[in-house]
Amino acid sequence: MAAPDPQFALYTAAQVRALDRAAIAGGIVGIELMERAARAALDALRRRWPQAQALCVACGPGNNGGDGFLLAALACMEGMRTHVIATSDHATGDAALARERCLREGGQVAPAAASLPEADVYVDALFGSGLNRAPSGDAAKLIAALNAQSRPVLALDVPSGLGSDTGVAFDPCVRAAATVCFVGWKRGLFTARGADQCGERTLATLDIPAHGYSQVPPDATLLVPRALPPRPRDSHKGRQGHVLAIGGDLGAGGAVRMCGEAAARVGAGLVSIATREANVGAILSARPELMPQGVHVPRNLEPLLARAGVLAVGPGLGQDEWGRGLWNAALDAGKPLVLDADGLNLLATAPRALPPACVLTPHPGEAARLLGIAITEIQADRFAAARTLAQKYRAVVVLKGAGSLIADPDGRVAVCPWGNPGMASGGMGDVLTGAVAGLLAQGLGVWDAASLGVGLHARAGDLAARAGERGLLASDLFPYLRALVNGRA
């Protein structure tokens, strides 16, 4: 098995422990791994805060605390004023050796107290990747103190209080300015609350040989920036696919219009829209390249379905008789489709078989309805939720949110590392639906279309947000979608 690129591989805590064991079995002793982690952490600290002279390291009793003790020892050797706060008088194994090294090098180790000593940078070495509950006792008090002060915090491996497998932030949880992750990326650093709590993320592989990684397949992968290749010079619109966007009940015409334009902006050759008659004039006026048609009853949809290659169903569709009739007709057509918004809500209330080439794009609320559970359960383990949805509906699923996940029925998962809070505004999901449909229409498979569509959408959102996150509109993404799909941004 070829070794994955560690920069794009995501692991569970159990898998990282297996990587550690493989490295130790390969001849790297545990204390040496700890020393490498401490050096990587100090290097990261120096790069990020080169003027720092005073350091305070909060150490727990386990190996994460051992990393902190060794970091403190190195800082002392380099002349930094270093204080260590320990939540326990005892340590075992390599962590005990690290504590002894810290004391030998002049580190001042004190128990947790009501106030923190003054420092330029604070280091969180309280808990590693194995924590799966809320911190308590002195550790919880220390986390609260770290979050209350204004100086930057560097987290070692995982911010203490963050579920490394899920991205759930327990109460309390360290909010770091930067996090140095050791050996392999923990998957929870990239979804749910992970990005908020981690700050700037850096991976230090600790020089573990590539063959060590080949023994432990990652649980998921990060998306990488991609674009579509140039078209042949003799291309014409008929070769670039025909998307039919279905939706836009009364008062919701903008949703289906944005979906249609997104499909066109990523390169679909033709885009038709089936909507309420009242929306047709506005759509033609705003974007004459789209082909809207008023549809009153499901049979009016038949000629449009016959011409289209890919369907985008749900934006502004509604759940009354009109929307339900179009939804059933679209699914009966058996064509590749992207299902979103009310298309998903209708599926939750009336489950039925889906076409073989299908992408579902739920947000956590829609995902909860599709699985019949609470939103909190979705967010408690987004990886499990995405996989369960994909298996239940035999479709590729995009679970939207901070760190959107793409999952397929075989258990494969990719995570989107881009996107920003400004994208929490109306219409963003409609644009994503159109983008994925437009890529499907151009011949991409469902996995590739969903993965590329999610990546293009999030990266376009980041480019559009350079003027500020607040006030970002879904339609602001269109010029960036066009540039990114062509590899021009």
Using the predicted structure, report yes or no on whether residue 372 has a pLDDT greater than 90. Answer: yes
Q: 302: how many CB neighbours lie within 10 A of its CB? A: 11
Task: Mark residue 269 as left, alpha or beta (left: phi above 0; alpha: psi -120 to 50; beta: remaining).
Answer: alpha
| pLDDT surpassing 70 at residue 163 | yes
| Backbone phi, psi, residue 86, to 5° | -115, 135
The whole-number average pLDDT for the span 77-98 is 93
Give the whole-angstrom CA distance, residue 10 versus residue 83.
33
Q: Quick one: pLDDT at residue 92?
A: 86
pLDDT tens for 169-227 read: 999 999 999 999 999 999 999 999 999 999 999 999 999 998 889 999 999 999 999 99
42: number of Cβ within 10 Å: 23
Distance, CA of 30 to CA of 298 (rounded, Å): 67
Strands 310-313, 121-125: pairing kind? unpaired
Q: How far apart are CA 190 and CA 258, in angstroms?
A: 28
At residue 390, the pLDDT reads 98
Confidence of residue 1 (pLDDT cuts 50, 70, 90): low
Cβ-based neighbours of 27, under 8 Å, separated by 6 or more: none
pLDDT confidence band for 237 (50 / 70 / 90): very high
Residue, of 372 and 3, whose pLDDT is higher: 372
Cα dist. 105→71, 74, 102 in Å?
Answer: 11, 8, 5
- List, for residues 292-321, the tens digit of each pLDDT value: 999 999 999 999 999 999 999 999 999 999
Of 43-57, 87-101, 239-253, give the lowest mean pLDDT range.
Answer: 87-101
Angle (nearest 5°) at CA 301 between 297 and 302: 120
CA dihedral 5, 10, 13, 15 (to 10 degrees): -50
Tell me the mean pLDDT in the region 465-474: 97
Domains of the chain as residue ranges with CATH:
6-218 (3.40.50.10260), 237-485 (3.40.1190.20)
Indicate whether 91 pLDDT > 90: no
Residues 6+ apart with CB under 8 A from 311: 243, 244, 245, 246, 305, 330, 333, 335, 336, 337, 338, 437
pLDDT above 70 (res 420): yes
Average pLDDT, the chain: 96
Mean pLDDT of all residues in 437-459: 98
108-111 sheet: strands from edge to edge: 108-111, 81-86, 54-59, 121-125, 153-156, 178-182, 200-204
pTM for this model (two decimals): 0.97
Q: What percent of the chain stands above pLDDT 70?
A: 100
Identity of the residue numbered 355: P
Q: What is the pLDDT of residues 99-127, one digit of tens each?
A: 999 999 988 899 987 689 999 999 999 99
Question: Which amino acid makes up residue 84?
Answer: V
- Per-residue model confidence (pLDDT) at position 114: 67
pLDDT exceeds 80 at position 129: yes
- Write the CB contacts of 299 (distance below 8 Å, at least 6 apart in sequence): none
* DSSP reduced 3-state for 64: helix
